[in-house]
Structure 1
Amino acid sequence: MSVESTDEERVESYASRLGPTWIAGAIAAGPATMASLLAAGAGYGYTLLWVVVGSAVLGTVGQYLAARLGLLTEEGIVTTVERHLGEGWAWVLVIDVVLAAGLAQLVIMKTVADVSAVLTGVDARLWGVVWAVVLAVGLASGGYRIAELGAKLLVSLVVLAFVATALVVPIDAGAAASGLLPRIPAGLDGALVAAGVLGGAVHVTLLTMQGYTMRARGWTRADAGLARFDVGSSMLVAFGGYSLAIFLVAASVLEGPSITAVEAGRALEPTVGTYATWLFLFGLLGAAVSTLGGNTVVPPYLLADKLDWGRSIDDPRYRVLLAGVALASAAGAFLGGSFLSLLVLVLAFGLVGTPFAIVLILYLLNDPAIVDETAPLAANLGGLVLLGVALVTASTFVREQAAVVTDPLSAFVVAFAAGIGLATVLLAVKFVRAATRIGTPTET
């Protein structure tokens, strides 16, 4: 048997078993990321291209680190944190994720309800209640997968339309090249959009859920090669291509700092014609419905892990918790404002809580009392770069937000940033001290 045939068989075997990071990639490629990419391209041209490219690369790094931790510990991250760092740090992680996922849940439901209202003419608040019931019943019974399958088909059509449009619209190569130079447009809006784009790929919920999804598939450290292929193919290739296509089309066709869903849909007119807006709206609805299901399970999953409950609908306590989160999301349909703007804010808010998760994962991966394999130098360097970019982008957003606190939501973002920032600093200090002790020779 030739080496080439062996490699082909390995790729085919991997392709048939892909899953965990593709789930993360599907959540990452949701309506919030789509809105952030459209806002970045329409509002600032090619200026934020470096963030779009970097988000795919750094998202891949983040998922690789999370996957490595899950493979080496073979348990959920909350359990690992509680056993080795203590209950307090485990609760900080749970609160971080629940707040980020909870805010996202409300805004994603608003997206589903508002788009449903545009398509049908029925009041969005009524749609919010209907979708919440569908979500609760579907997830509690395991039947929501049918809705998710249809939603993913719609999203796939829209992604293909954006890719096709990117091939035919006039792209300014010179301006695009200048967009690879790292810089953030001045002001709150620029910082918000940059944080939103990066937050789509580097989000605390994606990092923490990776270990759980791998455990659900029964992966162990023997599947390390498969995990690397899974991470690279989903985040770097699929998610990266998705992000680049949407951004380039928006930067080439759209213009304006604030666009509506109808205006965004017109970006597809070069390839879809008069049906562009309708296709975009259905695709946006599909992305929201698909992401809504995945996001709903995040808070119950981590809480169940912390409380040592079962993490399936076979445990009545988990089922009630899952249904409760689903029904509570109906409140999102009553939020005011444009859902496109709120979607960008959701990702920026999630990015604020992400550095804590990154420091936590690096800590766990470099403690020989927790994992029995030393983290590769390249992995640690990648993690530090990821941490640095996340910190700079998130802090820029928070600083701009703090300067113009005018409503309860802005005040909440700033307060959350202060709390989770303090926890991140304390954890980093603990990490450095632990690393120093490990590296100090024992006296005899």
Structure 2
Amino acid sequence: MSTSGQSGGVAHYFSRLGPTWLAGAIAAGPATMASVLVAGASFGYALLWVVIISALFGALAQYLSTRLALATGEGIVQTVENRYGSIWAWILVIDVVLAAGLAQLVIMKTLADVSALMSGFDARLWGVFWAIVLAVGLAGGGYRVAELGAKVIVSAVVLAFVASLFVVPIDLSTAATGLVPSIPAGVSGALIAAGVLGGAVHITIITMQTYTVRARGWDDSDRSLARFDIFASMIVAFGLFSLATFLVAAGALHGTVDAAGLDAIAAAAALEPIAGTYAQWLFLIGLLGAAVSTLGGNTIVPPFLVADKLGWDTDVSDRRYRTLLAATALLSAGGAFIEGSFFQLLVLVLAFGLVGTPFAIAIVVLLVNDRSVVDETPGFALNVGAVALFSVTTVLAGSFVQDEIASGLDPLTLFVVAFAVAMSIATVALLGSQFVSKLSQKETPAESQL
């Protein structure tokens, strides 16, 4: 039951925040941190425009998803199945499971490798340890455990990077040139741009929002609280985090490190002006915290959608859901056995997720404009923003795929291309079917008069 009418002012609002903080915890994770750091180190301020629109578009995507959840009281898979049928619901589930599953493995690799760097113990042992901790914590407390951890860790990470802005020299006049949209060449500019945007506009957090809003028990009377939650989480917390990290990287790392081979140790140099010899430890602790909070949020996403599709409850009171959640957490231990540098893999995993995101955006936009699903559709300005969100996401995802093809057709590239083709066909088919349906609905009244 909604409690939005209770008094308490700002303190009361903050006590009730949650759904978008969990999304923000995933957005402000190690993958975004790596993408933004690589962007600043590689191109200076050139990709500032992507960093800014990532927070704005991220907030817009979460707001559209929240409106859908408030209006229906359902998870997105159930809504898609009710309106479009089981096949479209399964396509959405598969899209999310692939994007979130790959992210889960790479983020676990990050957590395990960072733990190994800090302790000296084998990363594979850390992977198994963290997977067990994750399984026990989430299966025991579910969403509430992830939400609480997200609020604490994301807030701490944001403060650390914002503080560094006061001591790292920032060239404001040069930074202003980065507000002009362009994708620089070299060091896979399209990949990095897609990774930066993919940190905030990602199918994982867009779809997850409908379930976490429902878990909070919000309804349509909580819309003002939801807007506050989104503003505080995506614009203020995530926006400050990504902007501060980018500006610090551009000011401290550009031209001083090998951006193509940037790793965690080299990236830690960005914090030397405020931490001195402790910069490496400070950076690793921040990276560790971001990875923990992101894993907590990301782990619950595939079980949410799969359970919803199978008709199970999406909380730990349902033993089937609890088992699925624990199994997802335990399987993530496999990420610790992946070879390669986690820093570069983190950028790739966000870009890959962005490829599957236009399909989710199209679904959400169609549903919130469908009067058979919602009582109140978005206004003109909000729909213009939604079209811009879909368009920019599609263009950057397409640029990334083209960049991958140009780099050579290895097995990973073939998988990315196949995934992109499949999701593009699905998106076009969905939009086309709804366009035809709208036309037939308009023609029916005229035909009945003949």
**TM-score over 0.5 (shorter chain):** yes
Residues 170 and 62 of structure 1, relative CA distance in 2, 3 Å threshold: same
1:202-252 per-position Cα deviation (integer Å, ceiling 9, x unaligned): 000111011111111110011111111211221112111111000000000
Structure 1 SS opposite 2:231: helix
2:33 equivalent in structure 1: 34
2:305 equivalent in structure 1: 302
1:25 equivalent in structure 2: 24
Question: Paired residue for 2:318, among 311, 315, 318?
Answer: 315
CA distance in structure 2 between the partners assigned to 1:150 and 1:392 by the alignment = 34
| Structure 1 residue 359 corresponds to structure 2 residue 362 | yes
1:342 equivalent in structure 2: 345
CA distance in structure 2 between the partners assigned to 1:384 and 1:75 by the alignment = 24
CA distance in structure 2 between the partners assigned to 1:193 and 1:44 by the alignment = 10
Question: For 1:278-427, what aligned pairs fall within 5 Å after superposition?
Answer: 278-427=281-430
2:270 equivalent in structure 1: 267
Following superposition, the deviation at residue 162 of structure 1 comes to 1.6
1:356-396 per-position Cα deviation (integer Å, ceiling 9, x unaligned): 01111111111222222122111211110000000000000
**Amino-acid identity (%):** 63
1:137 equivalent in structure 2: 136
Unaligned runs of 5+ in 2: none
1:211 equivalent in structure 2: 210
Residues 126 and 13 of structure 1, relative CA distance in 2, 3 Å threshold: closer
**TM-score, structure 1 as length reference:** 0.94
2:54 equivalent in structure 1: 55
CA distance in structure 1 between the partners assigned to 2:82 and 2:191 by the alignment = 36
CA distance in structure 2 between the partners assigned to 1:335 and 1:217 by the alignment = 36
State whether residues 143 and 300 of structure 2, in contact with CA within 8 Å, keep that contact through their aligned partners in structure 1: no
Residues 244 and 439 of structure 1, relative CA distance in 2, 3 Å threshold: farther
State whether residues 194 and 393 of structure 1, in contact with CA within 8 Å, keep that contact through their aligned partners in structure 2: yes
CA distance in structure 2 between the partners assigned to 1:67 and 1:38 by the alignment = 30
Structure 2 SS opposite 1:36: helix
1:82 equivalent in structure 2: 81
CA distance in structure 1 between the partners assigned to 2:423 and 2:134 by the alignment = 30
Structure 2 letter corresponding to 1:415:
A
1:271-314 per-position Cα deviation (integer Å, ceiling 9, x unaligned): 12211110110110111011111111111110000000121222
Following superposition, the deviation at residue 11 of structure 1 comes to 4.0
Unaligned runs of 5+ in 1: 1-5
1:46-99 per-position Cα deviation (integer Å, ceiling 9, x unaligned): 000000001011111111110111111111110000011000000000000000
CA distance in structure 2 between the partners assigned to 1:148 and 1:341 by the alignment = 28
CA distance in structure 2 between the partners assigned to 1:227 and 1:357 by the alignment = 20
Following superposition, the deviation at residue 161 of structure 1 comes to 2.5
CA distance in structure 2 between the partners assigned to 1:183 and 1:171 by the alignment = 21
Structure 2 letter corresponding to 1:240:
G
| Structure 1 residue 277 corresponds to structure 2 residue 280 | yes
**TM-score, structure 2 as length reference:** 0.93
Following superposition, the deviation at residue 404 of structure 1 comes to 2.3
User: Across the two proteins, how many residue pairs are aligned to each other?
Assistant: 438
